[in-house]
Amino acid sequence: MKLLLHTCCAPCSVYCIDKLREEGIEPTVYWFNPNIHPYTEYRARRDCLKEYTKSINVNAIFEENYGLDEFCEEAVKDLKARCVNYCYPVRLKRTFEYAKENGYDAVSTTLLYSIYQNHEFIKSYMEKLSKEYGIEFVYRDFREGFWEGHNKAKELGLYMQKYCGCIFSEEMRYYNRNPIQTSNNNGYEIPKEPRMQVKKIENKEDYIDLLLEADPSKDMIHKYLNDSDVYALKKEDELISIAVILHIDRKTLELKNIVTKENYRNKGYAKTLLKSLCGNYKQKYDRMLVGTTENNIPFYVKQGFDKYEKTIKNFFIDNYKEEIKDGELTCTDLIYYSKDLKKK
């Protein structure tokens, strides 16, 4: 399938490109994004997309059109309806036109990713254009990956815009800060992620299955679980990661287990949980130990566990019935590092 992906900016493209590639579709990115105010903002979004598409090796076409005059002439006819009367149509029509002129057989858009755009209008408008131009419309509700894409874009350090694009949405960015003003969906800020909380868990046994993913022996887990504190990192009510902390003496703790649910892995949540726990415990305790396998040493050193303590030779062979694997590595020794909780 030769798919042209209308693209408004780099952050919105992250999840859409990943998703299409996962499905075996290699999109061509098509930048056509008039009436972004001011010009420096237009340029910042365009240049970031140029860099990003280059970095992930995706074919990208940039069609320049700042389009301020046309936008002003059209938008002023009905300011409140400017998105559906002018802004979406001008982008989407041009995308289908370009696709037709250049032999593409399918079209989609990153506008379907934003939780702030009029999704239903965009979908039905593209269905209409698809019939008109005889080109397939590849519909995906990219909104389901909004936070995944948002977090990845942040991690990549992509330029994150603070409003939709036109001068009116830029104005609403400031109005929205004022609780007296009614909010307007057409002007937005990058939303806040659902609130993350760290909570102490009492019903520890309910979490055994998840703990087993980091420490595959129930017997071993039971050796430390009852005497430890268990904490959960949650997003709203959804469990993300848990950590088990054992009190060794008046000044020392040991991190016995930390694990993140599979669908949340590699997104920095374990780091977030650990940082929060170290921050809280440093009021009363001086250091935290962690015993780990060779593979995980770099992760812990990055989190401040930078002092080597000791190695327990053949720990995994002597204490586990079955061979323990960590990726390619067969675990043998348990290596201890510590973090100075008071260190700034």
* Positions in the binding site for ligand SF4 (CB under 6 A): 82-83, 87, 164-166, 168-169, 186
> Which CB sits closer to ligand SF4, 7 or 169?
169
Distance CA 241, CA 265 (A): 9
The least CB distance from residue 134 to ligand SF4, in Å, is 27
Residue 177 Cβ vs ligand SF4, minimum distance, rounded to whole Å: 17
CA 15 – CA 151 distance, rounded (Å):
10
Cβ closer to ligand SF4: 169 or 338? 169
Residue (108 or 161) nearer to ligand SF4, CB? 161
Q: Provide the minimum distance between the beta carbon of 35 and ligand SF4 in the complex, in angstroms, as a whole number.
A: 6
Closest to 66 in 3D by CA, of 113, 33, 106: 33
| For ligand SF4, the closer CB: 49 or 87 | 87
Which residue, 110 or 169, has its beta carbon nearer to ligand SF4? Answer: 169
Least CB distance from residue 165 to ligand SF4, whole Å? Answer: 3
Q: What's the token pair of residue 69?
A: 């005059």
Q: Closest distance between ligand SF4 and the C-beta of residue 188, in Å?
A: 8
CA distance 16 to 12: 7
Q: How big is the CA angle at 337 (ends 332 and 339), to the nearest 5 degrees? A: 155
Scored b (16 or more CB within 10 A) or e, 224-248 reads: bbeebebbbbbeeeebbbbbbbbee
For residue 12, the tally of other CB atoms under 10 A from its CB is 26
What six digits make up the tokens of 68?
Answer: 């301020």
Beta strand pairing status for 307-312 and 252-260?
A: unpaired
Residues 290 and 300: beta-carbon distance below 8 Å: yes
Least Å distance, CB 29 to ligand SF4, is: 19
